[in-house]
Amino acid sequence: MGSSARTSTRGGRLRSAVNADVTLRAASADDIRAVAAIERASFGDPWSESAFDELLRSRSAIFLVATRGEEKSVAGYLIAFVFADEAEILNLAVTPAERGRGLGGELLDAGLEAVRKRGAREAFLEVRESNASALALYSSRGFSALSRRGKYYRNPVEDALVLRRVMEG
């Protein structure tokens, strides 16, 4: 996977090799307000702050945030679950002003590396079929379409594509 070549560990945090001012780290309670604001800016049916709070306490969840620059404000996040040898990427978003600068790719690479380390052999996710930027990102990271879930999303109603990738190593 590209992630190990693209990131390095420093003091328990991941510093990106391609985005020198980006830091990836585990989310904490202090991040939830910023994460929920990005969520509301990104989705028509956003998760609530309490849903994110609950995920922080879940042992099965991997919850990463990306920060950029000296201010260290949260610019994106990823949440994944691992059940036995299967992982699900539950949520991924980058604040609108930061999109297209590599952060989504960094978060996805780090999330895939984290689920692989926890024993996942395959990763799954759902995505709106019209979400071209997310589909381009997932395809660039080796995901391909497995099936379709009819009218899976609300606001607006839309089918989901279920994507899958096999993890190496």
Among 92, 112, 115, 161, binds ligand COA (CB under 6 A): 92
User: Does the annotation mark 88 as catalytic?
Assistant: no
By the 10 Å C-beta count (0-12 exposed, 13-18 middle, 19+ buried), 154 is classed as exposed
65 contributes a contact to ligand COA by CB under 6 A = no
DSSP 83-150: ETTEEEEEEEEE-GGGTTSSHHHHHHHHHHHHHHHTT-SEEEEEEETT-HHHHHHHHHTT-EEEEEEE
136 contributes a contact to ligand COA by CB under 6 A = yes
163 contributes a contact to ligand COA by CB under 6 A = no
100 contributes a contact to ligand COA by CB under 6 A = yes
β partners of residue 133: none
**Per the residue annotation, which of 126, 129, 152, 158 is the catalytic one?**
126
Among 140, 146, 147, 149, binds ligand COA (CB under 6 A): 140
Question: Given the complex with ligand COA, which of 32 and 88 has the nearer CB atom?
Answer: 88
In this structure, the strands spanning 86-94 and 22-26 are unpaired
104 contributes a contact to ligand COA by CB under 6 A = yes
Whole-number minimum distance, CB 169 to ligand COA, in Å? 21
| Amino acid sitting at position 87 | A
User: Does the annotation mark 153 as catalytic?
Assistant: no
